[in-house]
Structure 1
Amino acid sequence: MLLWAVLVGLSFPAVGAMSELPPLSLTSLRFLIACAGLWWLVRRAPAFLPDGRALPLYALMGLCLAGFFGAMFWAAHHATALSMATLFVTVPLLAFLMGLLFGVERLAWRLPAILALGAAGALGLAIAESLAQGGRLRLGIGEAVFFLGCLATALYPVLSKWGLATGRLPESAAVRTFWSLGLGAVLVGLAGLAVEPVGRLAAMTGRDLLLLGYLGLFSSALTFWLLQRATAVLTPSAVTAYGYLVPFVSMLLLFVREPGRVGWVWLPGSLLVIVAIALLLRHGRGDG
């Protein structure tokens, strides 16, 4: 999950570097590329073909992924990479609350306290970004759309954990990733055909194609395979809590590109995030 956090953090600047193209169609292409990369892992799996109980659940999980990545592509041109990464840290708290509803989380104080600590650190990073830009914290349309995407992605590990607990989904993380991404690609692709000027995809540049390939293979196939593997042994909120490292990764990238914008004001949030991850790792070992 530490590798997962690094890959997710790197995906925000990559999305922001792409041309402004139809987001739903881009999401569908990204998922198809991810499925192509996963094919060699799943083609001989014994539980590869889904049954009648798994197929609707895969479709709902695919919609969750489509909702998040569609919002991410659209918001990339209406919000900064660091503000998106900061909003992303609401996901663990959302996953914990929804996990309680589905019966896959336990009502205890320790994990919510760790989640709150990490959220406070992320808020500190958001304030640092605002001060660096000479402005105040505010919510725009880009941030609002991306938050709806965060709601969708928080539901994804909850549904996956519930499917595993009830025997509706197979044990193979690659199979679960393949079908949720595949059905998500079909559903969001159909939506893109209905509401978007798909012909604008012809304007994709060579750089756009390279970035899309990277996002498909690394920020979709690999990250969700890692997430599915972790979901089998951790709760949804514990899995997604590693997202607290995402704004920290974005801050490090900002420091590499514009070191003059990163000062001592970034330190409190960074320290809180690091402490939260350390406590989360200790909590995970205690659960094991």
Structure 2
Amino acid sequence: MFEGLKTAGSISMSAVFTLTPLLTGLSAHFLGYQRLRRKVFFAILLGAIGSLWIIFEGSSQNLLSLNIGKGELIFFAGCFCHALYAVFIPVLNRGESSIIQTFGVLIFSSIIVCLFGVKPMIETNWLNLSSLVILTIFYLAIFATAITFFLIQFSARRISGTKVMSYTYAIPFWVALSGGFLLGSWPTTETMLGGILIATALIFLMRDDLGNS
């Protein structure tokens, strides 16, 4: 996914990422691990529409100008793997706690990254990196990777992977809302409409969980 980020645009990348919950649901369904019920499928589509509405600012022109290139295709492959990750968490678990399972995933992921990235890591002048780059690396390692993986592990053992991934639909809305509080750039009416669609979808999914508990 990071490789795809080199050439993919932020808008197109965000649009591709909205496919993750649907990919999770379809993968679990066709692999026979969990049936994708119509109500859940409808909620996923509703959340996707709301998320895309925010990403493209409610403009059909922005949607039509979407360009899918090599970076987007690579990122899509990463999203598909991310979707499968949520599907296989409960399947491959043999009683390990979420923290142990996360630890194992991170260890083997680090080994794979080192095998493929040993040359650029050696060539990088780490002492000359700016403080912003260092902080970004720590943020990606701790929050965007370790903590995120743990939360996905923890949640996917209690609710379906499809629903876990569906909560990512709230990201564009939270980004827009954070921009209002931190930068004074409050969401537009179009953004709020997308947020309402996302909230409706998530409420529906939460009520479905309560009904099945």
TM-score, normalization by structure 1:
0.65
- Aligned position for 2:57: 128
Q: How far off is 1:201 after superposition?
A: 5.0
**Counterparts of 2:58 and 2:107, CA distance in 1:** 36
RMSD between aligned residues: 2.7
Q: How far off is 1:159 after superposition?
A: 1.5
Question: Any residues of structure 2 matched to 1:246-285 within 5 Å, and which?
Answer: 246-255=171-180, 256-257=182-183, 259=185, 262-285=187-210
Question: Any residues of structure 2 matched to 1:163-202 within 5 Å, and which?
Answer: 163-164=92-93, 169-193=94-118, 196=120, 198-200=122-124, 202=126
**Counterparts of 1:136 and 1:263, CA distance in 2:** 21
- Aligned position for 2:31: 102
Question: Any residues of structure 2 matched to 1:197-216 within 5 Å, and which?
Answer: 198-200=122-124, 202=126, 203-216=128-141
1:105–1:236 CA contact under 8 A, matched in 2: no
- Aligned position for 2:22: 93
**Counterparts of 1:272 and 1:234, CA distance in 2:** 22
Distance 1:258 1:145, change over 3 A: farther
**Aligned partner of residue 57 in structure 2, secondary structure:** helix
Distance 1:253 1:140, change over 3 A: farther
- Aligned position for 1:111: 40
Q: Return the letter of the residue paired with 1:229.
A: F
2:4–2:73 CA contact under 8 A, matched in 1: no
TM-score, normalization by structure 2:
0.86
Aligned residues: 211
Deviation string 1:72-108 (CA, Å, 9 cap, x unpaired) is 365066422x553443221111011111233221242
% identity of equivalent residues: 27
Q: How far off is 1:281 after superposition?
A: 1.0
**Counterparts of 1:197 and 1:215, CA distance in 2:** 16
**Counterparts of 2:64 and 2:49, CA distance in 1:** 20
| Structure 1, gaps ≥5 residues long | 1-70
- Aligned position for 1:139: 68
Q: Return the letter of the residue paired with 1:284.
A: D
- Aligned position for 2:84: 155
1:85–1:250 CA contact under 8 A, matched in 2: no
Q: How far off is 1:132 after superposition?
A: 10
- Aligned position for 2:142: 217
**Counterparts of 2:63 and 2:208, CA distance in 1:** 38
1:118–1:277 CA contact under 8 A, matched in 2: yes
Q: How far off is 1:142 after superposition?
A: 3.3
**Counterparts of 1:126 and 1:263, CA distance in 2:** 12
**Counterparts of 2:58 and 2:106, CA distance in 1:** 33
Distance 1:268 1:137, change over 3 A: farther
**Counterparts of 1:174 and 1:131, CA distance in 2:** 43
Q: How far off is 1:109 after superposition?
A: 0.9
Distance 1:72 1:250, change over 3 A: farther
Distance 1:172 1:108, change over 3 A: same
Match of 2:164 among 224, 239, 243: 239
